Structure 1
Amino acid sequence: MDSEHQLYAYAAGLRFTDLPAGTVESAAALILDHLGCALLGMPLPWTRALLTALADGGELTPPGDRPGGHAVGRPGALPPGIAALVNGTAAHGFDLDDTHLPTMSHPGAVVIPAALAAAEATGADGRDLITAVVAGYEVMGRITRATGLGFGEKGFHATGQVGPMGAAVAAARLLTNGTPGAAGSASLAGAVGLAASFGGGIKAFSVGSGNVKRLHAGRAAQAGYFAATVQRAGLAGPPAAVAGKFGFVPTFSTDPEPAYHALADGLGDRHLVDEIYLKPYAACAAVHGAVEAAAALAPVDGDRVDRVLVGTSRRALAQNSNPDPSDVIAAQYSTEYSVALALLGGATDPRRYLDVGTGADAAVRRLAAKVTLRVDDQAEQSYPDANGAHVEVTDADGGRRAARAAVSAATGPGWASAEQKFTAITTGLLTPARQSRLVGAVAALADGGRAADCLTTTTEGTSHD
């Protein structure tokens, strides 16, 4: 069996009882993080614009007698695929959702919305949801590893391009009730074969106006769910759409010899959900080392700073240098802006990025203009598994301060970290009682709690309509 079909066989055969306790905890932590990020992103302008467009097009019509889905924090049933679209967009709406650093992709905002939509449609329990999420992350991450980082450096957005395939696996497992053996493997291959043609996303957003990035995750989640439903109805895609002739990996990889072995090497030894970085800062993960180093030097008096030197990776220098961003996503992708914000003490408040374009960020912009980037050998060597940077601040009187930092997912996401972040970003959106109930609903998944409770618990008590 070739490596692509070994991956499908593994994803189809995975059972909750196969998962170590730490992996179950990681998956639950990522589901909680997803819900928190979606609650934060739901009232933002780009998510509201999507909801308006869907309403105008009649696509928010409740599904009647058919099982429906829910958008996080919004009452009323939706068609499941639309729920996946809305939740994925909202979760990616502040660039605070989880990241797989080795592939520089965001699996949570893609895989989890599709899995939740399928879980609601089938009445799945929490253990089935967790297992589907683990399988979806595994497939998405391994396909991206096999493809390599080159296509992202060329300008494709891995989350939008590869995401439909991971989402399709998670949704297909739930929609087929985890069909085992060859039939289950074939159903996943067929769903991925469709989803491989549904991806999309380029990084033109990085220089603004770029809020289309939020839709990359939502559309990928919707596409994966759609692929799984179409496959179940009898229309399957090419069975070797990942590694076969003209498959995704050979088409998108920039390496003469793509890493096909990454599709199957070490399956089951360690799960990808255990390698996920929970983002504490609402900026591109490639600049997080620089933000953390700058935060260690905060607060500074920006008007007394003469210059700021940031040593970073070559990719961050090429992709994330923009001293004068025009909108929110460009600022979140900008090393200069994000470092300046961190130096002024605003690193941990995602809402500070909403000041871009309003004039309220004048002090940040003045300091960002003083930031210079260069390649740092240590940061380059550790990239992408650890995003590191060195930040040096020189004051007008010649005084210097410096800090070095690196971020990684070496310890996995962890429930405690996810709960702490969830509480921080949902305060003001949920009452404390509702926060507690939602945390409890996610914690109960591992004991077989209803998967749908994770969504329905969010639909009351929010501060946005």
Structure 2
Amino acid sequence: MDLPLPAASTTAGPTRALAGFVAGLRLEAVDDFARHAARRHLIDTLGAMIAGAGQEATGSVERALAAAGLPAGPVPVPGLPRRYDMLSAAHLGGTSAHGLELDDGYRPGSVHPGAVVVPPAIALGAMRHASGAAVLRAVVAGYEATCRIAAASHPRARWRGFHNTGTAGVFGAAVTGAALMGCDADGVENAIGIAASSAAGLFTFLAGGDVKRTHPGHAAREGLMAALLTESGLPAPRGALEFKEGYFNAYAGGDTGAMDAAALDLMSAGGQHPRSRFAIAGCYIKPHACCRHIHAAIDAALDIAQAEGVTAEQVERVEIGTYAVAAAHAQVGWSEMTTAQMSFPFVIATALHRGRVGLADFGAAQRADPAVLGLTRRVHVEIDPGCDADYPRQRAARLALITREGRRFERYVPEPYGGVSNPLDDAGISGKFLGLAAPVLGAAQAETALDQLWRIDTLPDVAPLAESLAVG
């Protein structure tokens, strides 16, 4: 028979530590650096959502929802004209945010927190007319959950085939919803306990298809559902992260003895930024439209090309040494946009040939460009012991470019552009947002929305802001 469920957690394990943190979080206690980081990552993720709303994977989710008979609802979705119910809005928002490989990330956990946290925050916030300060608090809490759980799991979960954005991300979405609902520690832990049964996402996307784009959408929807079920009275197991049959044992190798989940100091997993204890302060923002594992090598290749005046036609060979997780992308092809954005040879060839790596560089014509394809055969990737030893503390790459004339140029990039040590400035964040949002919303609407986002914690109600992010 089942053991009786305790009314409240009696064990001060990692699940309870996270729940207590979320329940006790007050926005005024969030330092200025982290609060500003929260605004930056909110803006960056919403730009990715707006641009990604038009991609095919988002369209597939829309058509699936229509086929299921779901009617229109009251919640706007950034970048889309149709309004949806709250859960569907989170599902679509998560899918669109991750759809173009432009969303943010947390290096120690190899996870994309914005795509699983911002969609439920905006959907629930709009539905319930939450204040901007309440939404920003929920975003900080959601990032903390996603990043810390992913960091505690990585890279063990990756080598088991799990995609942390889908698996750890569902907890971030659940915490975001619970925080906006004002749950106490018991309620937050209950939402985590429900969300644990929906943790999903595999690295099978490396073989092709577009399912990767939907991982954050699934996590955002199921995490928000976990918070709603908690609010509606569904009891859940306590200690779901560290329980013997819980998340860390099932997903992150706790069953092998590689970690003692019950003794884990979860709130320290991944470390801290020198200027803030909050995980959101340690997240990166992408300048290139592809897998983050390739960014250090892109920066190295672009720097050589620009500083040394090397053209693509002069390249004889490119030798790249990096960490094992990144080097695995050397075997990924480029028959589809999804795989091309994950492919080390194609991305580096693109950077050298076009002088950039942007969204426009992954279309069918670009993937068939003979000049780029010729360069892919000149790109060679291997595991560098030093880079591998430094991962996940750093995402480093060593790159040597040899020209047809025999000249050799070398670069070492310890951390790519957009990271904690080399961040985009606020003007870069605004420019990226407008570049993604203006073609969809129009320049005036995008600029108005951006102005409100920079001062979101002063807004009494985020519903009008959410409307301004949608089409029509």
Match of 2:397 in 1: 389
Q: What do the CA deviations read for 1:349-373 (whole angstroms, capped 9, x no partner)?
A: 22211236863x3322210111111
Name the CA distance, whole Å, in 1 between partners of 2:236 and 2:203.
27
Pick closer, same or farther for the CA change 1:112–1:356 going to 2, 3 Å.
Answer: farther
Partner of 2:151: 145
SS of the residue 1:70 aligns to: coil
Q: Aligned residue for 1:190?
A: 190
Instruction: For residues 143-163 of structure 1, give each alpha carbon's deviation from its aligned partner in whole angstroms, at most 9, with x where no partner exists.
Output: 122223111123110001111
Q: Is the 8 A contact 1:110 1:163 kept in 2?
A: yes
Which of 8, 20, 29 matches 2:19?
Answer: 8
Match of residue 459, structure 2, among 426, 441, 448: 448
Q: 2:95 corresponds to which residue?
A: 89
Question: Share of identical aligned residues, percent?
Answer: 30
1:368 equivalent in structure 2: 376
- Quote the offset at 1:233 in angstroms: 0.7
Q: Is the 8 A contact 1:338 1:347 kept in 2?
A: no
2-structure distance, mates of 1:28, 1:343: 33
CA deviations on 1:102-141 (whole Å, 9 max, x unpaired) are: 1000010001101111111211010000000111111111
Alignment match, 2:316: 306
Moved more, 18-27 or 348-357: 348-357
1:278-289 alignment, distance < 5 Å: 278-289=285-296
Q: Closer, same or farther in 2 for the Cα pair 1:304/1:415, shift >3 Å?
A: closer
Report SS of the residue matched to 2:277: coil
SS at match of 2:455: helix
| Structure 1: 5+ residue stretches without partners | none
Determine the C-alpha separation between the residues in 2 that align with 1:388 and 1:5: 35
Residue in 2 aligned with 1:322? Answer: 331
Structure 2 counterpart of 1:206: 206
2:349 match: 340
Mark the CA change 1:128 to 1:90 in structure 2 (over 3 Å): closer, same or farther: same
Q: Give the AA of the match of 1:271.
A: F
Secondary structure at the aligned position of 1:298 is classed as helix
Cα deviation, 1:161-210, whole Å, max 9, x if unaligned, reads: 11111100101221x2x24xxxx1111111110111101111111131x3
Range that drifts further, 113-122 or 451-460:
451-460
8 Å Cα contact 1:146-1:258 kept in structure 2: no
**Alignment partner of 2:176: what SS?**
helix
Q: Secondary structure at the match of 2:265?
A: helix
> Does the 8 Å CA contact 2:50/2:80 hold for their aligned counterparts?
no
Contact 2:108 2:392 survives alignment (8 Å) = yes
- Pairs aligned (count): 447
Decide whether aligned partners of structure 1 residues 443 and 225 sit closer, same or farther in structure 2, where only a CA change above 3 A counts.
same
TM-score, with normalisation over the residues of structure 2? Answer: 0.89
Equivalent in 97, 101, 119 of residue 125 of structure 2? 119
Kept in 1: contact 2:51–2:79 (CA 8 A): no
Q: Secondary structure at the match of 2:243?
A: coil
- Distance in 2 separating the partners of 1:326 and 1:33: 28
Secondary structure (helix, strand or coil) at the match of 1:429 reads helix
Contact 1:323 1:369 in 2 (8 A): no
| Structure 1 residue 246, shift from structure 2 partner | 0.9
1:290, 1:310 within 8 Å by CA — same for their partners in 2?
A: yes
Corresponding residue SS for 1:49? helix
Match of 1:294 in 2: 301
Instruction: Measure how far apart 1:400 and its partner are.
Output: 2.3
Distance 1:26 1:413, change over 3 A: farther
CA contact (8 A) 1:97 1:108 kept: yes
Give the secondary structure class of the aligned counterpart of 1:390: strand
User: For 1:259-286, what per-residue CA distance to the aligned partner results, in whole angstroms no more than 9, with x for missing partners?
Assistant: 6433134999610110110011111111
Name the SS of the counterpart of 2:341 in structure 1: helix
Q: Equivalent residue for 1:410?
A: 421
Name the CA distance, whole Å, in 2 between partners of 1:386 and 1:421: 25
Q: How has the CA–CA distance of structure 1 residues 156 and 414 changed in structure 2, closer, same or farther, with 3 Å as cutoff?
A: same
SS of 2:130's partner is coil
TM-score by length of 1: 0.90
Shift of 1:335: 1.2
* Structure 2 counterparts to residues 258-297 of structure 1, below 5 A: 258=260, 260-265=263-268, 270-297=277-304
Change (3 A) 1:448 1:323: closer
Change (3 A) 1:227 1:454: same
Aligned equivalents of 2:366, 2:56: Cα separation in 1: 14
Name the residue aligned to 2:362: 353
Tell whether 2:223 aligns with 1:240: no
Q: Is the 8 A contact 1:168 1:227 kept in 2?
A: yes
SS of structure 2 residue aligned to 1:105: coil
Cα distance 1:262–1:403, how it changes in 2: closer, same or farther (>3 A)? same
- For 1:356 and 1:149, locate their aligned partners in 2 and report how far apart those are by CA, in whole Å: 35
Deviations along 1:61-113, one digit per CA (max 9) or x if unpaired, are 123xxxx3211122342100000000110010011100101100001000110
Which AA in structure 1 matches 2:431?
Q
Which amino acid in 2 is paired with 1:129?
Answer: V
